[in-house]
Amino acid sequence: MPSPWPDSLILAPLTKGGNLPFRRLCVDFGAVVTMSEMAFAGPLVRGFRKELALLRKGPTEPCFGVQLAASKPETAIPAARAALERGAAFIDLNAGCPIPEAVHKGMGAYLLDRPRHLERILQEMTRALEAPVTVKLRSGFKDSRINVMETSRLAEEAGVAGIVVHGRTREQRYTRAADWDLVGQVVKARKVPVAGNGDILTWYEARDRLTQSGAAGLMLGRGALIKPWLFQEIHEGRELALSASQRVAVYRRLAGYFREHFGEDEHGRQRSVDFLGWHFAFFHRYRPLPAEEWLERSREHPLLQTRLDPVPTEDPLEMVLACPATSIHRRIAEILLLSGDDGEAEERLVELACELPPRGESPGRTEDQAGG
Ligand SMILES: Cc1cc2nc3c(=O)[nH]c(=O)nc-3n(C[C@H](O)[C@H](O)[C@H](O)COP(=O)(O)O)c2cc1C
């Protein structure tokens, strides 16, 4: 069976973050394989509009996969058909989502502890569907129950076309570095393509993880949320080192995509502010990480998992873009959405520097959310 992924980089399924305008921006920077936010199969089958909206593919997305949360084939299959009718290239079953809303309903990471049930869902999906089916696994539910060798074997036997391994347990959330040796063991044991996931923030970490694991692909989550141009950096094997002005242009482009997507009326504008502001919980974490300075450190511990202080700067634009406060993120979003051009946006952002809260004040939100 051919690989479900026509490129080695996969944009991770990201609830809220993996919205259509953001995916469009990633495609601009060379993402070929993109994925939907996790969609619940039950509400999809019942025709809930909010859930169905998650299946919408952008016209520029070359290979768009839809990720489903399902507890049984009876809902997974019709939900997958709804996604395929709307242009999905492959269907991914989530077997890693840690949030109680999924786990308590027998979905997501719950399936890791029920390998035979996971196998049955996947088997029925692969038999019933014309399109490739993939599965996104965590290494296990708990640190004491790491079983990805077993779950990946059963998934392969069930006929999946690809497996993504996020090298952390449900219990670990983001507290530890992803285990890429374990990803490598799965790659070795399986015939189907295996992609690894966890902690990739720079082109050199991407290269190192591919070499270390032999994986067929890499899935990018928070790294892409922090810098959507990561796809281009990895494809070209170099850091783009965008200036603050260049980053403002990128963020403004995203603002334009949100405006097109949500519309110009008051309701649409509020949604654009909400989403774009949300993205700054990740964008503000950007800092340059030249290989000459950071490669060795990245080999000791992944840079995404390392507390990286912002680069000290007196440049007001850099200070605004690096501000962790949620209230400022909303103000930035409003400015980006309302400015007529990049120059005006920059000017108004610089003015905002006078209103920044003193350093060390609580940001009011943590960025890394539940995640699967
Ligand atoms: C904001 C956010 C939303 C996420 N939503 C999903 C999701 O809907 N489905 C899923 O399988 N994983 C989800 N994840 C987990 C990511 O897909 C990925 O597995 C995880 O972040 C590890 O990759 P990273 O270290 O590159 O971020 C989410 C992660 C984040 C940060």
Which of 63, 89, 83 shows the shortest CA–CA distance to 7?
Answer: 63
Q: Whose structure tokens read 């089958």?
A: 45
CA–CA distance, 342 with 253 (Å, rounded to integer)? 9
Residues of the chain with pLDDT under 70: 359-372
Q: Percentages helix, strand, coil for the chain, rounded to the nearest 5? A: 50, 10, 35
Ligand 1 lined by 199 (C-beta under 6 Å): yes
Active site residues: 97
**Residue listed under structure tokens 């399109």:** 131
Alpha-carbon separation of residue 160 from 8, 27, 152, 190, 299 (angstroms): 18, 26, 10, 11, 33
For residue 226, give the amino acid letter: I
The CA–CA distances, whole Å, from 219 to 113, 267, 298 equal 23, 33, 18
Residue nearest to atom 26 of ligand 1 (CA): 221
Q: How far apart are CA 241 and CA 10, in angstroms?
A: 22
- 94 pocket-lining for ligand 1 (C-beta < 6 Å): yes
Query: Residue 30: which of 220, 199, 234 has the closest Cα?
Result: 234
Q: Measured in angstroms, how far is the CA atom of residue 221 from the centroid of ligand 1? A: 5
* Maximum C-alpha span of the chain: 61
What confidence score (pLDDT) does residue 372 get?
57
Q: Which atom of ligand 1 is nearest to the CA of 92?
A: 11
Q: How far is ligand 1, taken at its centre, from the CA of residue 45, in Å?
A: 24
Q: What is the pLDDT of residues 49-77, one digit of tens each?
A: 999 999 999 999 999 999 999 999 999 99
Give the residue carrying structure tokens 């285990």. 179
Q: What does the pLDDT read at residue 274?
A: 98
- Tell whether ligand 1 has an atom less than 6 A from the beta carbon of residue 162: no
Contacts of 257 (CB under 8 A, 6+ apart): 20, 21, 22, 24, 25
Q: Where along the chain do its domains lie? A: 9-236, 244-355
* Contact indicator for 230, 243 with CB cutoff of 8 Å: no
Q: From the alpha carbon of 198, which atom of ligand 1 is closest?
A: 25
17 lines ligand 1 (CB under 6 A): yes
DSSP designation for 38: P
Nearest atom in ligand 1 to 201's CA: 26
Token code pair at residue 288? 């340059």
Substitution candidate for ligand 1 out of 14, 111, 170, 225 with most atoms within 8 A of CB: 14
* pLDDT in the model for residue 2: 81
pLDDT given at position 358: 77
What number does CATH give the domain 9-236?
3.20.20.70
